[in-house]
Structure 1
Amino acid sequence: MKSVVITKFDEFNDIDRLLMDKWEKLLSDSEVPEYNRSIITSSWKRCLAKKIDPLRKEADVIYSGDDLKEQQEKNQFLLEIASPYIDELFEYYSGQPTLVMLTDPKGIILKGIATSEAWAKVDPIRFVPGADWSEEASGTNAIGTAIIEGKPTQVFAAEHFCQGWHPWVCSAAPIRDPFTNQLLGVLDLTAEKRLVQAHDLHLITSQVRKIEHEIRNIISKQNLTLIENIMDIIHDPLVIFDAQGRITRYNSPALHLLRIQSGEFIQTLFGCSMNDIKDKSCTMKLSKHGQEWAVQFQPYKIDTRFMGGMALFRKITPSNTKFKQLSTTSLSLPASSTRYRFDQIITRNPKMKHVIQLAKKAAFSDKTLLITGESGVGKEVFAQSVHSLGPRNRFPFVSINCGAIQRDLLASELFGYAPGTFTGADPKGKKGKFELAHKGTLFLDEIGELPLEAQAYLLRVLEEQVVVPVGGSDPIQVDVRVIAATNRDLAQEVKNGNFREDLFYRLNVLHLEIPPLRERKEDIPLLVNHFLYSQKEKDQIQLIDTSALEKLMQYHWPGNVRQLKNVLDKAMFHDQDGCISEEDLPAEIIGSAKRCENKASDGDFRDKKHKLSNPVITKEMLTQTLKLTGGNISKTARLLQVSRTTIYRKMSKFGLLM
């Protein structure tokens, strides 16, 4: 999109000076001067009462490394939903030194995205992930003040209580759970004060509304799935309630026992407080119609957020008057075993972004999904991400590689076997992958390797949702969402007689095709930076010089992302000085790059400086290098082996300079 036109406040310098006068008076008199923005004066009064240092020039970073990762994991639900909207907002301000930040409910920054220039400028004040920007810690600022005021807030220049934040203007809006009104976090847009725009606060508020709408949709679908799953397996009196304790659903035995109606509150019905039941499972006694009942309360949470729960009733009879607390194991939902989520997929490629959006839609469908793509593109990463986002994410994700198991054992792996079926096998029999994945997701990797006889059985299971273990006769009902993946052209395999046409159509209801790495080479610098960062030693930053990065960009990557990671792992092992060079790369990478160079030139590019001054320095390469060097132009120029002038010229060309 076109660059945003900066609309400054009228008489910018006069307003800036006026605010500075007000702040200096605050400093000299130790009392709040008259000012026409009550949201600011109220905040200043709180800051004075808290004895916050107005001369403060940097915030406290309270989380870093593993501690920061732990906080991010606790807020994974919000991060995953908000990330596309953060990217969208950042793209709107593309080319401007702005920062978009997401915090937790306390004002701790969880994630940020910014230009390299902006990162370099805010680093001294510690406006970075892990820093505490609550009002209590950092004085008047959009994040902290929005949390206290509970509404969108803009703080300009010397309206900030602390001197270190005066060069900035920030606009922030709280993100709330649309069902409970609980504060989930804050979305913030920050820029130098000279770049203030009249619509900044409106844009940030608009993005927050989109995030809250997405949260509402996801929670609604998850709640419906929770209710359906619970009602399917429980036949005793059962009541479902939301985060406020409002009864939303009940089964027939509960209606007969309690004579309840939707909309009543669990607190009124049982005379208990929500605090008694929202943090952990507990048991209470209830007398109804001359019968003693044990009521088991089981809370339900998404991440750490309390969503509601259920109350399950069991009769207390003379034979069990010493009632023991019901086992929560029988009520709890099995945990998923996935490692990957959508926000871990690194890309700038439009086609890849489109695939991610389709995958997110597919996450909320129960239809079979076929993921295709070359070996190493990340098909299982997508499969796990779909499961993690979808309503089955509290149930197992079970994976099986159809090409890695002996053909004669594949059926028993998928469908299980009955007791006594095989000599030397478990005499009790064994559950197959379908049973293990009940209520969850079964990922069939390399589905194209499945033998024809197993294909027929798989088709029947998909159509009937019933499995019969090998050697058995009793059908077992299963509820499984199937995701299949292959690097083969299944349509061609059907023509060749190697794959059943009816199974192909049954699997190919929803389809994702992941592009190979050679078709999204702009992602290579991003992936390189990610792999180097994730593998780095405690305090050692691993770098890569421009010559080595060029070679990686020129290679065709038949093994895709998996091969790229393998190459970098080997290069880091061979590297001696903390910076991967051309000499650390495998011979096939260098040889391929040389063939590329020979084709692309007639010997005109022998001069290294001439070669490096041509567009091989991409925007992504430059952005990542600037980030690695903290925005230091000299270090960036040395790393890329070009002049400072070239760096400035490239930054101007890519819109990284104002």
Structure 2
Amino acid sequence: MSPHSNLLIPRIGDESAVACSWERFLQDMPLPAVGVRNVVLDSWRRSRSEAVDPTTGSAPAADGDRIYQLRARSRDLYEAAKPVLETLREILRESGTLIMLSDPSGTILDLNGESRARDAGEQINLAPGGCWSEELIGTNAIGTTIATHQPVQIYASEHYCIDVKHWTCAAAPILDPLGKTLLGVVDVSGVKETFHGHTLGLVISAAKQIEGVLARRDAELHGRLLEHAMDGFSRYGNDCVVLFDQRGRIVKTSGSMQQAREMYGVRLPFEVGSQLTALDFAVHPDERIRQTPLWLRPEWLHPVRSRDGDLGTLLVIPTGNPHRPMVNTSTLAITATGDVFAEIIGTSQAISTAKARARRIAPLDLPVLLLGETGAGKEVFARAIHKASRKPEGPFIAVNCGALTRELLASELFGYSEGAFTGARRGGLPGKFEQADGGTLFLDEIGEMPLDMQPHLLRVLQDGVVVRLGDTRERKVAVRIVAATNRDLQADARAGRFREDLFHRLCVISLHLPPLRERPEDTEAIIGHLNQRLAQKYGCPPKSLDPEVLAHLLRYRWPGNTRELQNVFEAMFALSDGNRIDGTLLPPHIGAATVDSVLVNGGVMPAVAAGRLAEMERSVINAAVANARGNLSMAARNLGISRSTLYVKLAAMRESTKAGSLPLSLSPAP
């Protein structure tokens, strides 16, 4: 074996011998004992096994849309690498070389260098979009680094294809700090006269710097992810639980994977850092669907969210008790029939009409405007519409237009470039439109958007193009808009407080969501659902409610709608001792408002003075039935209870009357 065969850096003096060996290699003749390094010879063999044509003149190229998709998929790498490559460019400014970044497939994502070098590189497609894997263009530093996961320098005749042989290149792999998978390659290339052995050291150093930036970013994101996910690990302590980050990498595990394999056929590596493409947010939704393993059930997936969006995914495989129903408290679960709207609680005519219209709206790729009071469930409907759309696996991004200042809202929606303003993140940041590309953007409280920002939003909706703050580059986005408001936007448009053209663009289809007071018969079902869900959250059995408490909750008009009911009930649930919620936990304003809310025509009931709950209930029901002129459905609505509940109470009151209690009036009031 030649003493030169294991050299890391090529020897210029060996070029003639390498060229001779390459010719003999193509003719399948024995090679001389000196001249060709092992890393090069191994690459030649791989190139030949892939049937690479040595006369290929240039690398194939990806089209513009494909480059955009690949950059989006490698966004974290791209942002981490940019400042490092800028520094490398300064070091090599006068060297006549090109500095570039490729993704794991060998496609060049970014390239910098002087004009003459760029012009020369374009002749062989050493340019953005050029695909430099070994199986396409043979031996070269990018492709050979991808094949070996090792840094390599290739000089002149060591290349496999003829037209690349007047070049020299050095490349180093960028490895995932968590799982050591290949994220990309940093490369420096130039015509062979630019060769310098130190170039390999420079690209190795640059790759390590990029890995350090990614490692620090991962540590920060994983800290937030673990903080938001720890409750899930406690709640599902008897099951097999796996926490994935945004890129589908395993961050933490608990429980028995062996048991999950035996019970459900789960085939998942249990090592931290292993990746599941189906849970990688950067991958295109269609590709994620294709990569979803057959064993993975949708009901096992629990999004981990913060105010800034999705942080990762909690996979809960029920091994402790496989028959226990899984309750996904973070998002709507798709039922066996595939109807996500069935998970929205309520069977009243008002909510059933809203759900039926939403089902028809969901598959249409049109903007939707949700109209309803605060707390009526606009975001719940928006998520359901997204899940029932044609792109359910695409991202769902929510923005509250009323919770941010004008400047923050602009940067949140449209993103910004590096240096756009003081404190701007290095490398810039994509906005919510870019993050929602291929999915749904939910614009809550759209009526609160500042008037001078509305033309910018209108342009994106019309052209499907986003320009980041401080930038001139146009970025195409394909986003479905679901907006929501509790204001009368049409009246605001007439008054000049909201752009009329934007209103018509957003309100292609509208959906009215009824307030809870217009569907009181759903209140008891919502309370039952909350009871089950909170029992799951707090790890205890559902709690029983005193009849007094339930009666007050059913009669209250809930001006804050479902959100107010949820907050009130969770506070009572959490503060209750044992398994019972009694009247001491009832908020005073609800107890005080109950009787007033059902008084009709300002009448004062004698039973109120007596203060006895049973007599007060009889008086309230009598008054409601009398004022409804015997119409029990109307009486039930006025009382804030379901009709079936009213029938039960009336039957009990008849029995009490037979026993000599207070009389029951079912006749119209005189």
Q: Which TM-score band (shorter chain)?
A: 0.3 to 0.5
Higher RCO, Cα 8 Å, sep 6+: 1
TM-score calculated relative to the size of structure 1 = 0.45
